[in-house]
């Protein structure tokens, strides 16, 4: 997987929006923030990652290359609308936190905290309200 620094514009996905911000696109050999996160944040994040809304079909599996052996594989992304932007993280982010002590930016923690349940009407509205109109059209 291509590495991208946290909070940079997300250019991985073939999506027509300039409001997409990368979070948690880690790969071996690249520096990333480490530290503890709250159990409440982690629980909410894993809940959102269970059936994440996907405006674009994933191009295949990504295996965690931070694991020394047999990293788990993932193929979905998480879209978290917040404060005029949409944060885009691979669902692998929960594994990065649990197994590799990744500490996401504070603004992403707040975004996850504020995020409505996946696939709820409130979630769709939040996507629309934060610049995701083109994404909803793609889905
Ligand atoms: Zn791993």
Cβ–Cβ < 8 Å for 122, 112: no
3-class DSSP assignment, residue 42: helix
CA of 51 to the centre of ligand 1 (A): 20
In the predicted structure, residue 82 carries a pLDDT above the cut 90: yes
The number of helix segments (H) and strand segments (E) in the chain equals 5, 5
CA of 126 to the centre of ligand 1 (A): 31
Q: Provide the pLDDT confidence category of residue 86 given band limits of 50, 70 and 90.
A: very high
In the predicted structure, residue 59 carries a pLDDT above the cut 70: no
Give residues whose Cβ lies within 5 Å of ion ligand 1: 64, 66-67, 71, 99
Q: Provide the pLDDT confidence category of residue 2 given band limits of 50, 70 and 90.
A: low
CA of 67 to the centre of ligand 1 (A): 4
In the predicted structure, residue 34 carries a pLDDT above the cut 70: yes
CA of 34 to the centre of ligand 1 (A): 14
Strand pairing report for 85-90 and 77-82: antiparallel
CA of 65 to the centre of ligand 1 (A): 6
Residue 50, both tokens: 């269970």
Can you give the pLDDT at residue 32? 94
Cβ–Cβ < 8 Å for 13, 6: no
Look at 59 and 139; give whichever has higher pLDDT: 59
What is the percent of the chain where pLDDT is above 70? Answer: 95
The whole-angstrom separation of Cα 131 and Cα 96 is: 27
pLDDT tens digit string along 110-119? 999 999 999 8
CA of 64 to the centre of ligand 1 (A): 5
Q: Provide the pLDDT confidence category of residue 138 given band limits of 50, 70 and 90.
A: low
CA of 29 to the centre of ligand 1 (A): 13
Can you give the pLDDT at residue 85? 96
What rounded mean pLDDT belongs to the chain? 91
Residue 93, both tokens: 């982010």
Look at 129 and 17; give whichever has higher pLDDT: 129
């Amino acid at each position: 997987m291509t590495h991208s620094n946290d909070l940079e514009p997300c250019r991985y996905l073939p999506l027509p929006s300039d409001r997409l911000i990368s979070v948690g696109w880690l790969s071996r050999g690249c520096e990333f923030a480490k530290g503890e996160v709250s159990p409440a944040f982690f629980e909410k994040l894993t809940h959102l990652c269970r059936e994440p809304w996907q405006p674009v079909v994933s191009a295949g599996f990504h295996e965690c290359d931070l694991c020394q052996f047999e990293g788990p594989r993932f193929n979905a992304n998480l879209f978290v609308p917040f404060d005029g932007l949409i944060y885009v993280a691979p669902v692998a982010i929960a594994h990065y936190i649990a197994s590799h002590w990744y500490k996401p930016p504070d603004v992403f923690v707040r975004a996850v905290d504020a995020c409505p349940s996946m696939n709820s009407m409130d979630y769709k509205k939040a996507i629309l309200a934060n610049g995701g109109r083109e994404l909803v059209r793609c889905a």
